[in-house]
Structure 1
Amino acid sequence: MRRGSVAQRLGRGAVVGLIVVVAAFPLYWLLISSLKPSTRLGEVALIPSSVTLENYAAAFDTQIPRWMLNTFGIALLTTLLGVAVAALAGFGFARYRFRGRSVLFGMVLASLAIPEYALVLPQFTIMRQFGLLNTWAAVILPLAANALVLFLLRQYFSQLPEELFDAARLDGSGEFRLFWTIAVPLVRPGLGAAGLLLFLNAWNAYLLPLVMLTNSDQFTMPIGLAFLHSQLNFGIVEQSPWGAITAGTVISIVPLILCLLVMQRQFIGSLTAGAVKA
Structure 2
Amino acid sequence: MRKKPLQKVFLYIALVIGAIISLFPFYWALMGATNESGKMFSSSLIMLPGSKLVENIVNLNEQIGIGRVMFNSLFVSITYTILALLISTMAAYAFAKFQFKGRNVIFAIFLLSMMIPYHATVIPLFKMMAALGWLNTYQALILPNLAYPFAIFLMRQNMLAFPTALMEAARIDGAGEWKIFWKIVLPSMKPALAATAIFLFMFQWNNFLWPLVAVNTTDMYTFPVALSSLFGLSRIDYGQVMAGVSLATVPIIIFFLMLQRHFISGMLGSAVK
TM-score range, shorter chain: over 0.9
**Is the CA contact (8 Å cut-off) linking 2:192 and 2:265 kept in structure 1?**
no
**What is residue 259 of structure 2 aligned with on the other side?**
263
**Is the CA contact (8 Å cut-off) linking 1:144 and 1:198 kept in structure 2?**
no
- Structure 1 distance, partners of 2:45, 2:88, is 47
Alignment of 1:14-53 (within 5 A): 14-43=13-42, 44-48=44-48, 50-53=50-53
Helix, strand or coil: the match of 2:101? coil
State the TM-score, normalized to the length of structure 1.
0.91
- Structure 1 distance, partners of 2:188, 2:8, is 38
- Number of matched residues? 270
The offset of 1:36, in angstroms, is 0.6
Q: Which runs of 5+ in 1 are unaligned?
A: none
- Structure 2 distance, partners of 1:56, 1:16, is 34
Go from structure 1 to structure 2 and tell me whether the alpha carbon gap of 1:73 and 1:49 turns closer, same or farther (over 3 Å shift).
Answer: closer
Go from structure 1 to structure 2 and tell me whether the alpha carbon gap of 1:137 and 1:49 turns closer, same or farther (over 3 Å shift).
Answer: closer
- Structure 2 distance, partners of 1:177, 1:170, is 13
**What is residue 201 of structure 1 aligned with on the other side?**
203
Helix, strand or coil: the match of 1:105? helix
What do the CA deviations read for 1:179-236 (whole angstroms, capped 9, x no partner)?
A: 1111111212211111111111101111111111111110110010101213xx1x5x
Helix, strand or coil: the match of 2:195? helix
**Is the CA contact (8 Å cut-off) linking 1:143 and 1:202 kept in structure 2?**
no
Between the aligned residues of both structures, percent identity stands at 34
What do the CA deviations read for 1:30-72 (whole angstroms, capped 9, x no partner)?
A: 1111001344333334434742321122222232221111110
**Is the CA contact (8 Å cut-off) linking 2:31 and 2:50 kept in structure 1?**
no
**What is residue 272 of structure 1 aligned with on the other side?**
268
Higher mean displacement: 179-188 or 36-45: 36-45
What do the CA deviations read for 1:65-101 (whole angstroms, capped 9, x no partner)?
A: 2111111011001001101101111111111111111
- Structure 2 distance, partners of 1:24, 1:212, is 33
Q: Which runs of 5+ in 2 are unaligned?
A: none
**What is residue 11 of structure 2 aligned with on the other side?**
12
Helix, strand or coil: the match of 1:17? helix
**Is the CA contact (8 Å cut-off) linking 1:95 and 1:158 kept in structure 2?**
yes
